[in-house]
Amino acid sequence: MPAVAPSAHKDAPALLAPAKVNLHLGIHPGRDERGYHRADSIMIPLELGNGLAIERAEAPEAVFEPALSIPAEKSVVYRAVDAFERTFTPGCSWRASVTRLTPGSAGLGSSSADAGAVLRELARIADVPSDDKRLVAIAQSLGADVAFFLQGSPALLGGVGDVLERTFPHVSMEIALVKPEVGVSTVEAYRAFDEHPVEPADPSDLAAALDAGDIPAIAAHLANNLAPAAIELAPEVGECLAWLRAQDGVLGAQVTGSGSCSFAICATASDAERIAAASPWWARATRTI
């Protein structure tokens, strides 16, 4: 069994569970026998995220501040802690404490980001390689995006968005996020997509731009064929996106995930900060990690 960090680890500073944006999201029409769509997703992590702390505990535990609307024991974070203990550290339990700083139902990762960061930190503590097949299987069982947050680099995922196909070099980009008050249910977004399916774009040009670190080309090839469904469900999403695209200093903008948050790649940090300050909706200036 891998070595386990001593209980003194509880004194370690809080960690970041990074949010993400989808530079590319391509949902393929039709569902498989499990009811899932095939998906191509290129995601990149942000400096924005939730706070996270891990410590030893008598039993698996997840704590949220502010509290969730569901019992913590039903959260993806709790399931991540419980599955990790059963697989890698039997008899040695952990508590994951999450400080919720980013909005939910926004397409920024939310609970998947928290669960992936928890698994990544527990793996570091217990000296488990991040590509251990058992660890990856846990991530995939928790949700499509968790495998991305487990490894934390810009990446292309296939399958149903849960299979890591390749990673990309880090590209530092200034980002403005804008989100209306309304959220978008992922389930409802996929239902709306099925009523009016749109073929996905080819991610090859975006992948080449990421490999080259060509930020204008990255911005020019942003794509999300789930965005029309999100806008149909919440027209405010379309208003945010149109407003972002009209701002000076924006190289490209798109809805992230199933919404409701949109993001803009900006020419400079001051552009991102100015846009966030001017937004009539929830907004933040951040950058890619």
So which residues are the catalytic ones?
A: 20, 145
**Phi, psi dihedral angles at 269 (to 5 degrees):** -65, -40
Q: How far apart are CA 174 and CA 285, in angstroms?
A: 8
CA angle 159/192/264 to nearest 5° reads 70
Neighbouring CB atoms inside 10 A of 91's CB total: 7
**Phi, psi dihedral angles at 80 (to 5 degrees):** -65, -45
**Contact (Cβ atoms closer than 8 angstroms) between residue 247 and residue 230:** no
Residues sharing a CB contact under 8 Å with residue 175, sequence separation 6 or more, in sequence order = 21, 46, 263, 264, 265, 266, 272, 285, 286, 287, 288
